[in-house]
Amino acid sequence: MRVDHHPPALWIITHMRFGILGGTLMWGDDGAEVSLGGPARRALLTLLLVRPGDVVPADRLADGTGPQGTPSPHALQSQISRLRSALGEAAAIERTGAGYRLVVPVDDIDAGRFERLAEQGRTALREGEAQRAAALLQEALELWRGPALADAADSEPARAAAARLEELRLSVHEDRIEAALRLGEHRAVVPELRELLDRHPLRERLAALLMRALFADGGQAEALVVFERTRRHLAEELGTDPSAELVGLHHELLSADPSPSPIAPPAPLTAFVGRAGEVAAIAELLGEARLVTLTGPGGVGKTRLAVEVCAAETQQVCFMELGALRDGALVPQALLRALGLRERGLHVAAGDGDPLERLVAALSGRALLLVLDNCEHLVEEVAASAARLLAACPRLKVLATSREALGVIGEHLHPVRPLDDGAAVELFTARARAVRRGFVPDPQAVRRVCVALDNLPLAIELAAARLRTVGLDELAARLTDRLAVAARGTRAVDERHRTLRSVIAWSWDLLSGPEARAARRFAVFAEGAGVESALRVCDTDEETLESLADKSLLEWAGGRYRMLATIRAYAGERLDAAGETAAVRQAHARTLLELARAAEPWLRRHEQLGWLAVLAAEHSDLVAAVEWAVAAGETGAAAELLASASTYLWIRGVSGALAQQAAALLDAVGDAPPDGHDEAYAICVLCLASRARCGGGASTPTAPRAMPRRAAATSAPETPSDHRTSRQDA
């Protein structure tokens, strides 16, 4: 065998680059183009460059070196010799067996660099690094100068190689646009998508990308037109229907709110007393700083102060109450919901990346005041999220309330102090007159009450509410005694909790037996409850619930009862002390399970929106019920809760919300489903798989050996229209 090549040291010295993404070219170190000779030599070099280092049979080279081919072996050898002369020391053409191969580094060829950059870009996109993916994919596309293998003669191998590269080029275009959409650049990519879809009308991914871009820019109707046009093309040209992914996207477009709005601050139910100057000071501070944290003990009025600051704010406000959230890893998902966004967004391709990066994309160019209320129990996770958002979103401002600072660079602290004496007396008087008409205060008695309560607004409001049944003098005497006893009995409690804890304990002692029982049982609700749920779980009557609302242990708003977080914490301790926690938690979980079962059939009918709203109000309680069932070893109840809530979670786009609980449940039950819960077990597997595809933080246990047929046969949640059939087949 004859081997004809140049020593590697020589061609490294004279480094050349080659191009086949367009006409076949060669460039020297200085970037100048090097002459290759006539069309036959260019065609020959093109075929050798398609797969550098691979042997190309001589007959294939002969067929592809010109319009008529070069069938003569002698003529082919002559062309090879001339090509060697043109290449010089840049590359070696070796004769081996029945063919030839070109020895040149793959990265010296534009097609090789293109494929490497395309793969790196795809990997970055899968890992949620949209910015890096966009840069890599754009760099890959910029290597193209025209049609692939433009100088290759018309032969079957050349056509196949060119078609492969052109298909990859189109795929890279789609990936780059996907990255742009994740970065919030939906408007910029619409013209390019329209042009590409005009050239490739049967390309469903292009249609899906254009639909998403139009929807993000407020063009829901235009997006639906794109779907209809694509559906018609597929039917006329191929006699087929759109894919399940495109149909699913169409359904999402039909049901989605085209202009999602963030959660507004709660509307105050009472007059604001004593802090007008403080509101102005915080507003001024927000004009100078982008992160302001209101710090102070519980009950001092941080939340109400933040609400008043929002009322004076001129730009858009999103108010996120974090008190009910227990898992810090879910802070980004909770913020997405607060902003009115879906956890995964309108998409076709699997994996929308990190929810925090979706937040960055949604807020990058948006002027917004984001209020993060009650951060102290999630301070590390909230601090990390706030720092990332502020660094990436220059028009975003954050106002946080917490019992401790977030500890983020650039944070400005505003300590919230108890009310001054005059404001405390004014607040007590105003709240007392709300429960006792014509109340005429004794300034000295009111002053004693307020001093005993450390002038804390929440404590003052709770005490003033008792004037409905207790005289002012008696109130002052009893409250002072109660505070002294409670302070001496709770030295293990954190200092900042003692006074408010004493106020709540005193208020609690004034309840009748049925009221105290209902109040402590209400503590299991994470986000409040409707009347029917409260009656069942608390095992009480409406009169008792109304009495608790009258005494400020419960709040009534929006057709639901709610309990302040500090009161709920104390009520939970009383529930534990009564030995009723397990029984009440079971009643809570059973009530949520029955509600989810009742709602599930309606989620696939025109009543869907109404039932989605009902279940959305119970979202935190569904999570809490599943968490308790898993922790308590109630695996059957946990599985049924997860299964019954699955349709709601998938329609809302928050199927990952219970992924950690699903993982814990699967770990608890092992390889086999609980008796009689095969379908529920399978849905747990799907719930966990959904979170894994979206870059979620839940760990994925080893796949169970005895996975039910439904879980084994399904790789993604079905669309709502398919859900009934799938459940019957499970």
Are residues 146 and 14 located together in one domain of the fold?
yes
- Indicate whether 427 belongs to any domain: yes
- Indicate whether 639 belongs to any domain: yes
The confidence band for 702, taking pLDDT boundaries of 50, 70 and 90, is very low
Per-residue buried b or exposed e for 306-324, using 16+ beta carbons within 10 Å of the residue's own CB: bbbbbeebeeebbbbbbbb
Are residues 708 and 597 located together in one domain of the fold?
yes
pLDDT in the model for residue 65: 60
Quick check: helix, strand or coil at residue 143?
Answer: coil
- Indicate whether 656 belongs to any domain: yes
Quick check: helix, strand or coil at residue 91?
Answer: coil
What is d(CA 594, CA 621) in angstroms, rounded to the nearest whole number?
Answer: 13
Quick check: helix, strand or coil at residue 415?
Answer: strand
Are residues 649 and 505 located together in one domain of the fold?
no
What is d(CA 369, CA 310) in angstroms, rounded to the nearest whole number?
Answer: 8
Quick check: helix, strand or coil at residue 618?
Answer: coil
Are residues 643 and 702 located together in one domain of the fold?
yes
- Indicate whether 616 belongs to any domain: yes
Contact present, 698 and 656 (Cβ < 8 Å)? yes
Helices H / strands E in the chain, number of each: 33, 12
What is d(CA 208, CA 247) in angstroms, rounded to the nearest whole number?
Answer: 10
**527 CB contacts (<8 Å, ≥6 apart)?**
324, 562, 617, 618, 619, 620, 621
269 CB neighbour count, 10 Å cutoff? 9
Sign of CA dihedral 244, 247, 251, 256: positive
Chain mean position to CA 417:
36
Are residues 4 and 144 located together in one domain of the fold?
yes
pLDDT in the model for residue 677: 67
pLDDT in the model for residue 492: 35
Are residues 392 and 326 located together in one domain of the fold?
yes
Q: Is the pLDDT of residue 498 over 60?
A: no
Are residues 25 and 165 located together in one domain of the fold?
yes
Residue with tokens 């009910």: 324
- Indicate whether 268 belongs to any domain: no
CATH number at residue 289: 3.40.50.300
Give whole-number Cα distances, 576 to 401, 505, 583, 698, in Å. Answer: 29, 15, 11, 30
H/E run at residue 661:
helix 659-669
Share of the chain above pLDDT 90, in %: 20
- Of residues 4 and 548, more confidence is placed in 548
Supply the range of the domain harboring residue 481: 421-509
Q: Mean pLDDT throughout 632-641? A: 80
Per-residue pLDDT of 85-132, as tens digits, reads 777 766 677 887 778 888 888 888 898 999 999 999 999 888 878 888
Of the candidates 411, 430, 465, which is a domain's last residue?
411
pLDDT in the model for residue 223: 85
- Indicate whether 271 belongs to any domain: no
What is d(CA 320, CA 719) in angstroms, rounded to the nearest whole number?
Answer: 30
What is d(CA 320, CA 374) in angstroms, rounded to the nearest whole number?
Answer: 9
The confidence band for 13, taking pLDDT boundaries of 50, 70 and 90, is very low
Are residues 430 and 371 located together in one domain of the fold?
no
Of the candidates 411, 438, 464, which is a domain's last residue?
411
What is d(CA 714, CA 684) in angstroms, rounded to the nearest whole number?
Answer: 12
CATH number at residue 66: 1.10.10.10
pLDDT in the model for residue 154: 76
- Half-sphere exposure of residue 94: CA atoms within 13 angstroms, side-chain side: 16
Are residues 325 and 355 located together in one domain of the fold?
yes
Q: Which of 459, 449, 386 lies closest to 418 in space, CA to CA? A: 459
Quick check: helix, strand or coil at residue 99?
Answer: strand
- Indicate whether 253 belongs to any domain: no
